[in-house]
Structure 1
Amino acid sequence: MIRVELLRIARRPRTWMVLTLLCGLPVLVAVFVAVTKLAPQPGQGPAFLSAVLSDGSLYPAAGLAIVLPVFLPVSVAVLSGDAVAGEASTGMLRYLLTRPVARTRLLLAKLIGTMSFVLVAVILVAVTSYITGVLAFGSGGLRPVSSSASAGSIASPVTGTSIGGTISTSLSGTPLTTAQLGERVAYGIGYITVSMLGVAAIALFLSTVTDSALGAALGALAALVTSEVLATLDAASAIRPYLPTNYWLAWIDLFRQPILWHDVQRGLAIQAVYAAVFLGLAWANFASKDVTG
């Protein structure tokens, strides 16, 4: 069942269109920055983008920061929202369940398929961003820069508010070797992939509630927008640490020297909780659902 789901996702033209758009956006941004030589000031725009003019090898991190807050979650919500509801709307779900396939196994296959897509998408964004960054800006090696001159708060492209402390274009002022930078990018890929687990679980649950794939996707996106809005309110500070989007940008701490693990660990734990809760709800609803279409 898992193999069938992976092949189904890989064969859909929509999958390749989404991957192309995700990889194409950082390339487009790189072209504009390379042509104009105008990168955002430190603390403005996506993380790391202010440093790429001096070293294109940092562009994978900038590329990931470009797609994470909006485009990647939207893609995950659409894919997960379609997982069950899409099958139900076409009548395929009833056909699948007439075969000896347990509903739990079917849900698990849908989740694994979605997360496999996320992992492939994030890896492709990092690889294409690295190639683009080196070709457009060169690779001059990371050089220490005064943190007072280059540090700034990380602004969310969604809300325009400060998130997650400060960074410097030299990664806390300490240079990293190519191997160390590659290791941090790999950590970032893993963390961002897991960060989408909560989105996938919410959308998958909604996909078992309705037969409308669009409705499930919009419901998941509404939950994420609500989370982003609440994260900006002082009145909601008590619940901010428990919002699904609160630690999305904690992967930036992986590029510090030494790595700051506190928010990374909390982010992983929050995603595990959301996944457990909403996958449990999805299973409870789907296991007792009367599939007639």
Structure 2
Amino acid sequence: MKRFGPATLVEAGGEKLLFDAGRGVALRMSQINVMPGEITKLFLTHLHSDHTVGLPDVWLTGTLTTTGHRSTEFEVWGPAGTRTMMEDLEKAYKRDIDTRIEHGYIVPEGAKPMGHDIKPGIVYEKNGVQVEAFLVSHDIDPSFGYRINYKGHSVVLSGDTTYNENVVQHGKGADLLIHEVAVAKPEDLVNIPAFQKILSVHTTPEQAGKVFSQTKPKLAVYSHVVLLGDMSEASAHLLYRTQSTYDGKVIVGEDLMTFEIGEEVNITER
């Protein structure tokens, strides 16, 4: 499988911060030698299942001796409903957790989830790493994007959104802007009403290019690529369509792609 679910790992100042937890995130992290137990902080853009279905895997697998043996609480920041979701997940897996604690397989604190319902603004700050949340426009309210700042450098994650001025505002001056994108065939938009609705809550390449042209990041990257119907990446012409509104550097991200941010943004593909 070429693409698993949406998830972005940011490493800075000794911090490992995970943003969203889509399908297969724990498996993908293991491929870059990051064990689930190393993750104690997760930030959700919104509560759609495709962004959260991998959460129990990171949380619970990370408690095991062979996959990180987390010994501190697993904290999750996200929109209203995040705290309740984590409380309910703890109830759902209580039998499993209690059994593993009873047999001494896991550290109790490492299996303890703590959810935080957030509002726009600074939601996390430690070891020089600052995480700022801002509202975006999607079909589940509220939905957030994030800006992560560290020592004069920054990464901005759009989250799932239509064209949004908050992304423009918070994206200005970013080294790396990671943005979602969605496409569908024109005939499908005419014949399939559901596709019209889906596209209305995501961002087209032309709209994303408008964001990039106003923010001028060192590098713009497409992630969470939504291909409706039988559209393929090749037939979507993402970069060509983006060039109609943006003449800077933009790439289509791939799973396991790594970006090292300094004076330049260096890309490593796996």
Whether the TM-score (by the shorter chain) exceeds 0.5 is no
Taking structure 2 as the reference length, the TM-score comes to: 0.24
The structure with more helix, counted as a fraction of residues: 1
Taking structure 1 as the reference length, the TM-score comes to: 0.22
* Higher-RCO chain (CA-CA 8 Å, sequence separation at least 6): 1
Bigger Rg over Cα: 1
The structure with more strand, counted as a fraction of residues: 2
